[in-house]
Copies of this chain bind each other. A is one copy, B any other.
Amino acid sequence: MFREDSPEEECGVLGIFAPKEDVARMAYFGLSALQHRGQEAAGIAVSDGQTLRLHKDIGLVSQVFDPLTLSKIKGDFAIGHTRYSTTGSSSARNAQPFLIDTQYGPIALAHNGNLINAAELRQELLKKGIGLSSTSDTEVMTMMLACSKGDTWFDRLKDAILHWKGAFSLVILTRDQVFAVRDPWGFHPLNVGMLPGGGHVAASEVGALRTLGCEAYREVLPGEIIALSNTAMIAFQAVPIPEQTAFCTFENIYFSRPDNVFDGKSVHAIRQRLGENLAKESPVEADVVIPVPDSSIPAAIGFSRESGIPYNDGFIKNRYIGRTFIEPNDSLRQLGIALKYNVIMENVLDKRVVMVDDSIVRGNTTGPLIQLLKAAGVKEVHLRITCPPIKHPCFMGVDMGTYDELIAHRCTVDEICRKVGADSLSYLSLQGMMSAIGREEGYCNACFTGLYPIPPTIGMTKTGFEQSIGE
């Protein structure tokens, strides 16, 4: 019952080349800055130039690693991963990075995204007589590198990348190189930065680069392969950028930490503008603007700024109750969301409240939050959502739920408004959202529009594999 009504990201990835540094320790702190992108499993693989060593397990970064563990994986090259697991596959076997020995030497790989042709590629590998030990598309990619042709890892990577359809922000570790690779559509972010003492870092988000002290950084371009193994990075446009990129809009709406930069723009600034545009599109007479913490704070600040309605905190979120395995008893279960959110009464009592939230996915927490406000003596609740209604599932690595689960697939905006008990409900329009982002196109808005940048195919779900080797 404590599951938040949010889309959920698959992963954060990290790659480091830092000669003379303890890269495992750096990876530990870098992954901590990517922990929000995946809290189920974590792993680090390190190369000392000769041998690749790996440690990964289920848990937060701080639970998976201790000083002893880190001391056993020393070297100059590292990749790391934090994983969010979709329901039903919370197995240690699917933790990343994947590490294998190949005819070309050892290789490890960590992945953020989802291949839509994974089932097909998997069948091709199996038919070649290759056995697969997990249900992950990442193992498929790793094995494809093992059987690619080409003289160098760079060549083989160029070859393999052409077969991968879908979202992949990758870091790859060989004996003496770290590669950062981004799919040609550019679905998810990937950045590289320079360490002041020499070496480079690649990471899903800019925050991780800054946490490690990087002084200059840029995004890995869609379709680009970047090799980190020298004073100078080597960048190569492996696949031409398609006519239309497909940056994931939801990185701006929800996933990225607000200090990230995506497609050249500050995520925090975009979220403020989302709030501003929402205030322009759907103004309302009210006394206070409150966010649903934490992700909606920048948008609520923007809404307040544009509307002139004062900004204030309305909810306190209990940060410690999220990952509990204790089931509440019956009377606590009736409290529901109140176990996790408390209203700051004095800030909302007898007021007309604008409640800003980033999105409504399944719709199971919005109603209870509004009830909490009403029970606390709020006069009116005007719900404002910083994106359009989510009507379609995602196949690119984001767990939005199925068609049946999506409330906006089943209900009109009016129906949703009644269901959640709001006095008014407005979603931001697609145009308003894209104008806040600052582009008209080049983004994947399939969850709003159903227009998938790569057409979905049968077998995209993982059910088939999981029937063979259960988790």
A320, B52: Cβ atoms closer than 8 Å: no
Kindly identify which residue among B53, B62, B129, B212 contacts A320, using a CB–CB cutoff of 8 Å.
B62
A328 adjacent to B29 (CB under 8 Å):
yes
Q: A103-B126, A132-B101, A347-B269 are in contact. Are A52 and B324 (CB under 8 A)?
A: no
Query: Is A17 among interface residues, defined by CB-CB distance under 8 A?
Result: no
| B105–A66 touching, CB < 8 Å | no
Instruction: For chain A, residues 314 to 373, give those with C-beta under 8 angstroms from any C-beta of chain B.
Output: 316, 318-321, 323-329, 331-332, 334-335, 338-339, 342-347
Chain B CB within 8 A of A106 CB: yes
Stretch at the interface among A3-11, A230-238, A401-409, A462-470: A462-470
Number of interface residues of A (CB under 8 A): 101
> Judging by beta carbons under 8 Å apart, are A51 and B338 in contact?
no
Given contacts A62-B323, A143-B130, A318-B211, contact A101 B465 (CB under 8 A): yes
Contacts of A396-444 to chain B: CB distance below 8 A: none
State whether A310 touches B319 (Cβ < 8 A). Answer: no
* A103 surroundings in chain B (CB, below 8 A): 123, 126-127, 129
Interchain CB contact (< 8 A) of A268 among B197, B346, B471? B346
Evaluate contact between B342 and A207: CB separation under 8 angstroms: yes
For the complex, give the distance between the alpha carbons of A70 and B325 in Å. 12
Closest CB of chain B to A385's CB: distance in Å?
A: 20
A131, B469: Cβ atoms closer than 8 Å: no
24 contacts across the A-B interface (CB closer than 8 A) = A25-B328, A25-B329, A32-B324, A33-B321, A33-B342, A54-B469, A66-B326, A99-B133, A100-B131, A101-B132, A101-B465, A102-B132, A103-B127, A107-B131, A130-B131, A130-B143, A197-B331, A207-B316, A212-B332, A213-B338, A258-B313, A266-B344, A266-B345, A268-B346
**Restricting to A25-53, which residues have a CB under 8 Å from any CB of B?**
25-26, 28-29, 32-33, 35-36, 50-53
A147 within 8 A of B: yes
* Chain A interface, DSSP helix/strand/loop, else mixed: mixed
List 8 tightest A-B contacts by C-beta distance, closest first.
Answer: A129-B147, A100-B131, A131-B146, A266-B346, A103-B126, A51-B470, A35-B320, A53-B470
Q: Mask for A265-283, Cβ within 8 A of B = 1, else 0?
A: 0101100100000000000
Choose among B126, B259, B316 the residue that contacts A342 (Cβ–Cβ < 8 A): B259
Q: Are B469 and A52 in contact, with the CB atoms below 8 A?
A: yes
Asked whether A29 and B331 contact (CB < 8 A) given A130-B143, A313-B268, A469-B101, the answer is no
- A298 at the A/B interface (Cβ < 8 Å)? yes
Tell me whether B335 and A213 are in contact (CB under 8 A). Answer: yes
The listed residue (B28, B60, B101, B324) touching A131 by CB distance below 8 A is: B101
| Known contacts A21-B331, A51-B467, A101-B131; is-contact A268 B326 (Cβ 8 Å) | no
In the complex, whether A210 has a CB less than 8 A from a CB of chain B is yes
A100 and B467 alpha carbons, distance in the complex (Å)? 12
- Let me know if A22 is at the binding interface, CB within 8 A: yes
In the complex, the answer to whether B342 meets A210 with C-beta atoms within 8 Å is yes
Please report the C-alpha to C-alpha distance between residue A32 and residue B325 in the assembled complex, in whole angstroms. Answer: 13
The distance in angstroms between the C-alpha atoms of A345 and B98, with both chains bound, is: 35
**In the bound complex, how far is the Cα of B462 from the Cα of A344, in angstroms?**
38
A65 CB-CB contact with B under 8 Å: yes
Residues of chain B lying within 8 A (CB to CB) of residue A143: 129-131
Contact with B along A100-116 (1 / 0, CB 8 A): 11110111000000000
The answer to whether B313 touches A26, judged by C-beta atoms less than 8 angstroms apart, is no
With A268-B346, A313-B298, A326-B65: A331-B213 Cβ-Cβ less than 8 Å: yes
Complex: A339 Cα to B213 Cα, angstroms: 9
| Given A32-B321, A213-B332, A301-B313, 19 new contacts (CB under 8 A) | A26-B332, A29-B328, A29-B332, A53-B470, A62-B324, A66-B325, A103-B123, A129-B143, A131-B146, A197-B331, A210-B338, A211-B318, A211-B339, A211-B342, A212-B332, A259-B316, A259-B343, A269-B346, A298-B313
